[in-house]
Structure 1
Amino acid sequence: PLHHGRAFTAEVRYRGNGKAPRLGLSGWKFGADGGFASAAQSSRADTFLPCNDTPSDKATWTFHISAPRGYVAAANGELLHKTPRADGSAVWHFALRERMATELIGIAVVKGTYLYGTSHRGLPLRHIVPQGQEDKYGPIVARTADHLAWLEAKFGRYPFSVYGVHIYDGYTDALENQTLSLFSTNWFKPDANGRPGYETTMVHELVHQWFGDSVTPNDWQQAWLNEGPAVYYAGLYGEERGWSVLEDKMKATYEKLDAVRAADGPPGLPKALGGTNIYDGGALVLYALSLRTGQRKFDKVMREWVKRFKDSTYTSEAFIRHTVDVTGDRSLDPFLRDWLFGAVNPPMPGHPDWKASA
């Protein structure tokens, strides 16, 4: 029998072929190099390992990944060492010492090259780029140090012991795997004006390391506070570089959000994941809050949030209480409830002329 308070270990052994036919979506993404990368969000980790696949159940992790000759392995956390084998393959050993939800697992075996660096304050950075394309992607991943400095000035120290970017042609999107964000090769093209607009996506996924990875939703109805900050701060980053105007984006979101609320649910009560309501709608909630409180108080709310709830899980109710506590303004409780749970948009502070489209 298990005794109260006493640690125990459960070991599960199983076999499977990641390319076998299956019903539904898989957590594996396969590339032209014959390798793979995992993209498990939101509930696909249980397609390749036995787990309690909910964001509220976070754990520390170790990974032992065998890779054939010519391939490298990657995983969340720090590479401890490699164990070579006689046939030229190797087992790569990784440890993630901070807790992680299953949806953020980022394991891979690819034909890639590791590129190393440090942030401006000395945080280790390690990136994986496609083999033979180091000159193309090296300058892109090197931008990460500046992205970290920009966000640390807003939120405080990065919450983990390592960070990096994995660029892979087997994936078609961008995903905030903890300590190792995964990007498609398709992202990294200049915009119509020749500007590196893809950097806003890099910032988006980096924001998630604080909002979503370190401070994690208790369940998926709270996902607006993952995606809202990522959209908001990526927009702010683009605005500071003259690539876009955040107010224009927020006005456009305001105009269409009533229809989105009716179809997909309000930002705090989505009917499904991946919609405008939790992405741009979540950012609109934060934008409204910043106008209501003023930028200084808003910045304090966000900075103290990731500090107070580091390595834990949250709910929308916790964010409401936190905001009232930090600002001392009890009127922000009904204000946020209207924005998060209401059937229609409340008036936008400072913009009485903003109207929802019919």
Structure 2
Amino acid sequence: MKYAKPHLNYNAQVGLLRRRGLEIGDERAAVRALRRIGYYRLSAYTYVLRRPAPQGPSGPRLPPSDKFVDGATFEQAVALHDFDDRLRGVLLSGLQRIEVALRVQVGYQLGKTDPHGHLDAAHLDGARCREVAHVRGAGPRRTLHEEWLRRFHALLDDARTEEFVRHFVWKYEGRLPIWAATEIMTFGCLTGLYNLLGSRDAGAIARTLEIKNRDVVHGWLRSLNVLRNHCAHNARVWNRATVYPPRIPATTQTHLRLHHLRHTDNNRVYVLAAIIGHMLICLDPTTNWPRQLATVVKKFPVVPGLDPHSSMGFPEGWQGMELWTYEPA
């Protein structure tokens, strides 16, 4: 079907929302908000204010109606958008600290095994390195390590103008030791390398994070990498389902502060926020990030039918839990 909807100016967009039942108190303020946010972007936050579509006895679930529930306001949608913006900011701040700390951990541990251990599968987990990589498209079949090296060398090529990279190219034929190589790695590249580490090195990093299972840590990093990309690209996060739901470890496998996750939905943003908080406490006992996150979430906008529990998976009583009341060392 050919797309045939016409372009609407800002005032017409306000009129359309009003005709669909959205209460708009100050039309000039609404126009300013649409200029700042954009109609299409804001629609992701008006979506939860729409009436549910009538459902038949069978068949696929239909999307909500384009009509709004009684009492829904334009201000509520903007408040949800602005809350999401603040939430993204605090999540990204935590994820950036984890990314830097992960560079340190991988560089330090693998560096003790061999300064160039990332380039040679002999210094990694051989069985994992030999697994076949599943890459989209009809390209040559590569092992996980070969595919990781391809991605790493592409990043190295992109960083060739960096002064420290030029130094290693000039003096050491471009072979960066792991503690320097991590500085050009993305979060995804670091996550892939962690998966390939030998059991001693991966286990040491997992113990730093107070986790007894390296595969749990790898799964967490995959989930956090997706969240990091959503935050960095200003995507909606507050009520988004998790792409790779993180594995919840048994209570014997991790710290007491995460035991309550056994009773939460690992497909919501709360579990990812809890993992970030736990990891930051382990990596930097002086962190104040858990309280910063709690401060943001406590200011969730007043919207009937929505709250941090129903839309983000925050458990009842979360504000009093050890994780969110953590006192920096």
The bucket for the TM-score relative to the shorter chain is under 0.3
If the length of structure 1 is used for normalisation, what is the TM-score? Answer: 0.26
Which of the two has greater strand per residue? 1
Using CA pairs under 8 Å that are at least 6 residues apart, name the structure with larger relative contact order, 1 or 2.
2
If the length of structure 2 is used for normalisation, what is the TM-score? Answer: 0.28
Which of the two has greater helix per residue? 2
Larger radius of gyration: 2
